[in-house]
Amino acid sequence: MAAGAQASSEGPTRALVHCEGLSFRWPGAEAPTLQHLNLTLHAGEAVLLRGESGQGKSTFLSLLAGILAPSSGSLTVAGHDFHALGQRQRDRVRGADIGVIFQQFNLLPFLSILDNLLLPIRFSTERQARLHALGASPEKAAEALLSALGLSLRALGNRSVGALSVGQQQRVAAARALLGGPRLILADEPTSALDPKNRDAFLRALKDAQTARGAALLCVSHDPALEPFFDRTVTLAALQGDTP
């Protein structure tokens, strides 16, 4: 894919995500799930990742989030060499700089909307500091983000998270991932439960929040209708076929 080759030619230094020859094998699996994967992602870029079911898209996002460690190859995220970092440091980088949105299990049902939103702030001093530098209290920032995504915290009140519609839950989860200014947003099929109208609204809001911050967005989806919202679309197969 041309876009991938062009990005990697600009070198890893300016890139937010850069991986080369990345391979991963689940413990106990006979064949590696991902093999020789190359991808470069720049700040402000929004990329759609497609691939067959079970091919390893979610696994790839886990690697980028630092939840899993690569078996071989190089992986740099937000200036950190994830291959060299220990689990604990990768957790810190994720807490500070990576926002994860996923479709299947987004919110903790036993916490209120606001408590759900504020969870990443509690785990990361960097996010706290960034909000503080903006002069916003976490609660105010959360409220502003939600209204940017078309939800009013006041209107939702202290309704339990379980009492929200799936679309509302996804937007709360997106706000949670964006709160505290992460530089990389990873979204795993965030719109699979939305009708076309809500899906488009959600994507517009997500894109707005991303471009406003100059963050990079990598979004996994099976839905070809999403392509217009993104700068480029890549498939997992192509990323692995690409030899630099």
Ligand X SMILES: Nc1ncnc2c1ncn2[C@@H]1O[C@H](COP(=O)(O)OP(=O)(O)OP(=O)(O)O)[C@@H](O)[C@H]1O
Under the binding rule (CB under 5 A), the answer on residue 59 touching Mg ion is no
Under the binding rule (CB under 8 A), the answer on residue 50 touching another protein is no
Under the binding rule (CB under 8 A), the answer on residue 188 touching another protein is yes
> Looking at 13, 29, 31, 105, which residue binds another protein (CB under 8 A)?
105
Beta pairing partners, 235: 50
- What is the total count of residues that contact ligand X (CB under 6 A)? 11
> Looking at 8, 40, 76, 106, which residue binds another protein (CB under 8 A)?
106
> Looking at 35, 58, 71, 147, which residue binds Mg ion (CB under 5 A)?
58
Task: With contacts defined by CB under 8 A, name the span among 12-20, 63-71, 205-213, 230-238 that binds another protein.
Answer: 63-71
Q: Which of residues 58-117 bind ligand X (CB under 6 A)?
A: 58-59
CA atoms of 6 and 224, how far apart (whole Å): 23
Unique residue bearing structure tokens 């709360």? 172
Under the binding rule (CB under 5 A), the answer on residue 112 touching Mg ion is no
Choose the contact partner of 54 out of Mg ion, ligand X, another protein, none; CB within 5 to 8 A by kind.
ligand X
Task: With contacts defined by CB under 6 A, name the span among 53-61, 74-82, 163-171, 191-199 that binds ligand X.
Answer: 53-61
Choose the contact partner of 55 out of ligand X, Mg ion, another protein, none; CB within 5 to 8 A by kind.
ligand X
Residue with Cβ nearer ligand X (58 or 147)? 58
Q: Is 1 exposed, middle or buried (0-12, 13-18, 19+ CB in 10 A)?
A: middle
Beta pairing partners, 236: none
> Looking at 12, 26, 144, 213, which residue binds ligand X (CB under 6 A)?
26
> Looking at 23, 55, 74, 128, which residue binds ligand X (CB under 6 A)?
55
Using CB under 6 A, list all residues that contact ligand X. Answer: 26, 29, 33, 51, 53-59
